A and B are shown apart, each in its own frame.
Chain A
Amino acid sequence: MMSVPISYLLFLSFGVFCFGACGFLIRKNALSLLICLELMLSGVNIAFVSFSRLHQNEAGNILYFLVITVAACESAVGLALILNFFRIKKNIRLEEANALEG
């Protein structure tokens, strides 16, 4: 079986993460932000799984499940928040969610 070098996998993970992070910083739409978050988590997950492979143990895989669960919860909560936000503001533009301005 051909083994992919760990560095490739980590680059992939980093790339996906950065993709998500940049998206998070520049997108205005709350829904996109949520997707970007998921992307970041996926990037992390890739790293976990690759390390799991590297070390030949299951810790990374287990953590992967954990993260996936968290991601699921988070998107559920996030969607609910967005829904409520939409109800109040009639849009989901994040610039308008600035009630915490100091």
Chain B
Amino acid sequence: MLNENYLLVLVLFPFIATLIVAFTRGNAVSWVSISLAAIYFVIALLGFSVKELHYTAVWYAPLGLSYGFYLDAYSYFLILLSAFLTLISLYYSRGVIHEKLAAYHALFHALQATVVACLLCDDLVFFYVFWEAMLIPMYFIIGIWGGPRRIYATMKFFLFTFAGSLLMLIGLIATYVMYYKGTGQWSSSFHSLLEYYQAHPLSVETQRWIFLSFIISFAIKVPLFPFHTWLPDAHVEAPTAGSVILAGVLLKMGTYGLMRFAVPLFPEAAAHYAMPLCLLSVIGIILGALVAWRQTDIKKLIAYSSVSHLGFVTLGIFMMTEIGWNGAYLQMINHGISTGALFLLVGFLYDQRHTRDISAYGGLAKILPAYSVVLAIIAFSSVALPGTNGFIGELLIVIGSFQSKVASWGWVVAASTAAVLGAIYMLHLVQKICYGKNQDPQNEQLYDFRFREWVIYIPLVALVFIIGFYPEWLLGPVREKTMQIFSTIPQHLR
């Protein structure tokens, strides 16, 4: 069986891959990078049967710092998703990106490295370091290979998330110091902190302040309304692969942080703020959907749909029910798959026509039949049609939230209108792109899926249906983990 060293491999491999790719020159870059990503994906797959792994080594004992890594269902599936999406987006970038190829690929591997380290680390200091480090590769990916307004977008992206991170740093320090005050020892290991705070909860007042500092950082990352405006700009300017990773992986770090750190450490405060946060989620869900409908830029439409979908995730989390949490986690994965695929599909058109204006297209179902089929499948997965992955997540969230004591069921009804609104904007998109008559002779020249695209989309579409019809392989481990977390949350807060 796999032991703790597996964790080290998991953490270190992408760093090494980054170095290797960075120092590769010439035509080999793409292939070296893609095969490294593929190897990493396989490595990540190996851990499927692992339930829990823990690794610790001392870093600086007097201050209780350690190299602690911890793998469980929550981190595992996100790592798998990250490895999968990185592989796919690097494969996609082959032949699309030509300038500064080595840097491009290296940055993606670096992103992967920081994300994985952030997901795995058990040490709050480490967590903070990688949380910040994640920004840097994305900053460069958008800033160098991005669109015309990339400087504005990167500034906005960086300032938003960085401002949030600094607040979180305060919260982290407070958590760390409070532990010292209570026990007389320094420790930044998440597990010892968790144990301690469960046995000796902080006063509600203190919890609230610390929780707030955490929540703002996570909310910006998610992004929760009203911190979401950086997302459309960043997505629009990012290169396709960057959008895929941004939507598919980076946004999930916010919700992951909520589920892993913020709520388990400070359940009282979470319960206290749950209601307003649910309200924000519901607003985000509806606003995202309505605004998405009015967009003419396809990427912006998808970005706003992300706001809507992630609103569902946060709703599921803050409604504080087990079923809701399972749904929220599943929805994170689902969103990674379907939104990632949607961005790739937009990229497919953009690479040929160099426009993302929705009105430039029309009647493509005749010209690009295979493309249209895949687009329809992914769109309906995003709309949460039963039989696709989106449905399972949304159903669990809605059913879970409905039972919640946090907020009235009317809010759930309000959130569920997104099912209708989602259909509106997604069908709008599909119709404008695929249906109707083609008005633009340029569209006649478009080529349909070739081998390369099939390699990309077959796994994505397969995942849509695999999760849609047999979610248990993912849901099972997650459910156990959620149960474990909920067993530590006081009964009256759920």
A and B touch in the complex (CB under 8 A): no
A residues whose Cβ falls under 8 Å from a Cβ of B = none
By a beta-carbon cutoff of 8 Å, the part of chain B in contact with chain A is none
